[in-house]
Structure 1
Amino acid sequence: MVRFLPCMCSNVELDELQDQMQKLLEKQNFITTWDPETMLPPHTDVILEANDGRLVHAHKSTLMGKSVEFKNMFSALKDIVNPQVVKMDMDHRSLEAFIHFFYTGHVKDDVMTELADKLLRASDKYGIVLLHDLCQEKLMTLIHPDRIFQYFLLGNKCRAEQLVHSIISFVANNYCDISEISGYNEFLKDDPTLVAKLCNGVVKKLKVRLSDHHVKGNVTKHE
């Protein structure tokens, strides 16, 4: 007999929820929408110079309010006449996306797919936790045999533990021998310590899997 669950919300409650959702969307739109003119002189007071010489304008108060690194940087330069010019070790496209995140809390998916590794480095350096997590999530969907060692190195350098664990799981699930992975010999020469960390992580994963399999096998026998 099929039973139908009673509706958990009345029409009045649904209307209230929809009204609350609409207000949240309007609030989010207000917070994340900026007049383009305010992002250009004379309204800005800091100029960030990418490593290709191109410039990104911003407001020190916005950057300082969301990054201790920027706060320390600009506090040390407080006696310098505005607008200050700060050289950044990032290409222009990555820098633009990074600074845009300070104002909107968002990176377009195609941009994130292209720049997640660079934005992860920037978010780690400047302490932007939300962006750091979003970059990890994207990179975890982009794990590929050709990028295993590159991402493993990046994850360790940028304290991206979720990414590191995902790579270990990927290797444990797809390889009988780590030396089969493309780029293994080069990575072994460059950073044998990290190779050992990856191997140890994979071995631990496999031991847990074998242990679980053994337990399940014993349970089946007793049944």
Structure 2
Amino acid sequence: MLFSLFDYLRNKSTVTTPANEKPLTDTEDDLKKRISFLSGFMVAFKEQIHTDIKLEPNDGPSISAHKSLLAARSEIFKNILSSDNYKAPPSNTDTITLPELNTEELKSLLEFLYTGDLPEDKFKRHVFTLYVAADKYEILYLQESCERYMMNSLNESNALDILEISDSHPNKKLKDTTLNFIVRNMKSIVSSQKYEVFASSNPHLSVEITRAFVDARI
């Protein structure tokens, strides 16, 4: 399962006390209250409270968000919003275009930026696109979350896709894990029709798979 905000807070929630006393830890009720408090960011987004920037996907109307949150989550967004074009008082026309994302992908990206998490079904549908966006906009926690999801869901039907994305957006840990999986399931993966298409468009990765297979047999 994905590492949730609740898990993070539960692991981190120790209150410092005098040296002669035992540390106090938050109760589950305390953690729920803290999560509810932090969820105010998502409420502000859903109810469009004091939004001051629009994000435009490649297939539909723009979605309003908050400059301060975008800048806090992404160094790239921070640099964009610090440019002269966005330093003037906010207007209804302040827009950032994200041509690599469709509407559903953009909504999932924003949900993650506001909450630090996504339902598993959204990760399943959008993990590759979100991983690429996280790399482009330097959203490290999202990139790590996508990496973790891909490694946990690695199977014979998606291994080649994960290998390809780990190569085009370099990630040694993800690539090595995927290569090892492919080598262990070499016969079924390489004999598939999908591999023929993959090999024609990624000859260098086909060579890497062959070398990894040979090395594993030595």
Bin the TM-score by the shorter chain.
0.7 to 0.9
Is 1:78 the counterpart of 2:86? The answer is yes
TM-score (norm 1): 0.74
Paired residue for 1:172? 183
Paired residue for 1:189? 200
Seq. identity, %: 23
Offset at 1:60?
Answer: 0.9
Is 1:158 the counterpart of 2:169? The answer is yes
2-structure distance, mates of 1:178, 1:107: 30
Offset at 1:173?
Answer: 1.3
Q: How does 1:114-153 map to 2 (within 5 A)?
A: 114-153=125-164
2-structure distance, mates of 1:176, 1:112: 28
Is 1:27 the counterpart of 2:34? The answer is yes
Q: How many matched pairs? A: 194
Q: Verify the 8 A CA contact 1:48 1:85 in the aligned structure 2.
A: yes
Between 195-204 and 91-100, the greater mean CA deviation after superposition: 195-204
The residue type paired with residue 40 of structure 2 is: T
2-structure distance, mates of 1:70, 1:150: 28
Q: Runs of at least 4 residues of structure 1 off by over 4 A?
A: 37-42
SS at match of 1:145: coil
Counting helix residues as a fraction of each chain, which structure ranks higher?
1
Between 121-130 and 81-90, the greater mean CA deviation after superposition: 81-90
**Correspondent of 1:87 among 91, 97, 103:** 97
Q: Verify the 8 A CA contact 1:155 1:163 in the aligned structure 2.
A: yes
TM-score (norm 2): 0.76
202 and 131 in structure 1: CA distance in 2 versus 1, 3 angstrom threshold: farther
Q: Verify the 8 A CA contact 1:69 1:126 in the aligned structure 2.
A: yes
Paired residue for 2:65? 58
Offset at 1:100?
Answer: 1.4
The residue type paired with residue 82 of structure 1 is: S
Higher-Rg structure is 1
Is 1:67 the counterpart of 2:74? The answer is yes
The residue type paired with residue 186 of structure 1 is: V
Structure 1 unmatched runs, 5+: 1-11, 211-223
How much is the aligned-residue C-alpha RMSD, in angstroms? 2.7
Q: Verify the 8 A CA contact 1:116 1:135 in the aligned structure 2.
A: yes
39 and 75 in structure 1: CA distance in 2 versus 1, 3 angstrom threshold: farther
20 and 37 in structure 1: CA distance in 2 versus 1, 3 angstrom threshold: closer
